[in-house]
Structures are given as C-alpha cells and as structure tokens.
C-alpha cells in the first residue's frame, strides 16, 4: 500500500510539474529565471522517476540509492525557487532586488555552503541506506566519547555529525554577514534569518532522531521530520546563493 501510493503520488506530481513547465514556458519564455527553475524541476523529477524505476528493476548499491534523495532535493529546490520568484513578482518587490550590490565574497561563501551542504546531505542519505544510524548512541557525544572509534557505522555517523556542526557554524556566519550588510535587501535578511532558524531546528531534529532510534513507530516520523527540514533549508540556501550571485558587486 505504501509503495503503490508513493507511485500514484509521484505520477500526480510529475503531471503537475509538467503543467507548470508548459505554463511557465508559455507565459514567461523571455524571462530566463523562471524558465530555468521550471526546466530544472521537470528534469530532476523525470530523473527521480527513472532512478525509482531502476531501483525496483535492478538491485542498487547504497551509494547509488543515496543519490535518489540528492536529486529529489534538487527537484524540490527548483520548485520552491519558482514559487519564491512568483511570489516576489506578485508583490512587485523584484525591482528592489536589482538595486543593491553585495560583496563578491558573500556570494562565494554562500555557494561554498550550498555545495558543502549537498555533500553532508548525501552522507546522511548514505547512512540511511546502509542502516548505520545506530552507529552512535547518545547525543551530542557518540557512544559516550568525544571522538569514538572511527570505523564502521560509528565512524560514518560521527563524520556526519561533525559535518553538520560545521554547516551550523557556516550558516551562522553567513546569516550574520547578510544581516550586517548595509546593501542587503530586507527580503534577503529575512531569508537568512529563516535559514539560520532551520539549521538550528535541523540540529535539534538530529538529536531527536538519535533519541528515538529504538522506537520504530516514532522513529519513522522523526526521520521524516529531519528530511523535511533539510529539504526546506536546502531550497532557501539555493535562493540565497542565486540572490547573492545576481547582486554581486561588479
């Protein structure tokens, strides 16, 4: 029932994404930004469907299966970017975004974080597909140690935790820099604040996932919550990366 309902919902999503792509291409074909978002959403949705079919037809290794979640993140982020763009157009606030000039170092930092978080997410997906989540008991320490035995599942989960801590610190620095930047638009500062709030929530949800590892009926929901938060966080980071790039000082 779960597997088949997932296929039905995926098919509906596929048709919706196709419809959005056609409408965007029809009404905004001369504007590169929305066409790019709609095209990316369609491409990664189709790629997701093909990967899902391949996973059913042929056995896949955990590294390949982990890519499945990574591509779904890109599809979700593309769709959310299109939603944000449409909302901005509706409010008529797009002009203000093109008046500011941000330091080039800011967009470089944002893109570095955006690329790095994709790697961290991939490690998390790999942990899920190798069923290694129980490698570290307790939080924030791993098995009661500051640095556990770096082998097997414990080493993998510990690396993910350290990488997540680095993400938290980097996003805190990014949010602070945007907030203190005089040329930053109010909407950009608001997005940065949301990004910091989400990364903090993601860290806490990771602790919740660890706490519920032994309770299957609860763990399924805490792990889903962990996935939902990182998906929204990734999409907002994509928005920040694109805005800081477009507003970079020439």
Q: Which of 11, 82, 93 is nearest to 239 (CA)?
A: 82
Instruction: Confirm whether 3 is a catalytic residue.
Output: yes
Give the number of other Cβ atoms within 10 Å of residue 195's Cβ: 25
Catalytic: which of 3, 31, 33, 239? 3
Q: Furthest-apart CA pair in the chain: how many Å?
A: 58
For 198, what's the count of Cα atoms within 13 Å in the CB-facing half-sphere? 21
Angle between the N-to-C axes of helices 152-180 and 186-211, in degrees from 0 to 180, rounded to the nearest 10 = 160
Q: 155 is written with which tokens? A: 């080493």
Residue 63: alpha-carbon gap to chain centroid: 18
Distances (CA, A) of 57 to 1, 52, 131, 137: 19, 9, 21, 35
Cβ partners under 8 Å of residue 193, min gap 6: 175, 179
Distance, in Å, from the CA atom of 65 to the CA atom of 26, rounded to the nearest integer, reads 35
Q: Is the dihedral of CA 122, 125, 127, 129 positive or negative?
A: negative
Q: Please give the positions annotated as active site.
A: 3
């Amino acid at each position: 029932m779960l597997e088949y309902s997932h296929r039905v919902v995926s098919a509906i999503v596929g048709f919706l994404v196709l419809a959005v792509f056609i409408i965007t291409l029809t009404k905004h074909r001369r504007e590169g930004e929305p066409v790019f978002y709609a095209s990316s959403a369609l491409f990664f949705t189709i790629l997701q469907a093909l990967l899902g079919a391949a996973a059913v037809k042929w056995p896949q290794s955990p590294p390949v299966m982990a890519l499945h979640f990574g591509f779904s993140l890109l599809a979700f982020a593309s769709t959310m970017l299109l939603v944000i763009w449409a909302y901005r157009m509706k409010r008529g606030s797009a002009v203000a975004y093109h008046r500011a000039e941000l330091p080039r170092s800011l967009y470089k930092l944002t893109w570095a974080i955006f690329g790095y978080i994709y790697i961290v997410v991939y490690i998390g997906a790999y942990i899920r597909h190798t069923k290694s989540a129980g490698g570290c008991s307790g939080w924030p320490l791993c098995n009661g140690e500051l640095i556990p035995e770096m082998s097997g599942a414990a080493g993998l989960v510990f690396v993910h935790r350290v990488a997540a801590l680095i993400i938290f610190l980097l996003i805190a620095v990014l949010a602070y820099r945007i907030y203190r930047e005089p040329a930053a638009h109010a909407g950009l500062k608001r997005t940065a604040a949301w990004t910091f709030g989400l990364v903090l929530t993601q860290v806490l949800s990771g602790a919740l996932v660890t706490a519920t590892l032994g309770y299957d009926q609860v763990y399924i929901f805490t792990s889903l919550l962990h996935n939902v938060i990182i998906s929204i966080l990734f999409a907002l980071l994509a928005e920040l990366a694109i805005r800081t790039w477009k507003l970079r000082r020439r």
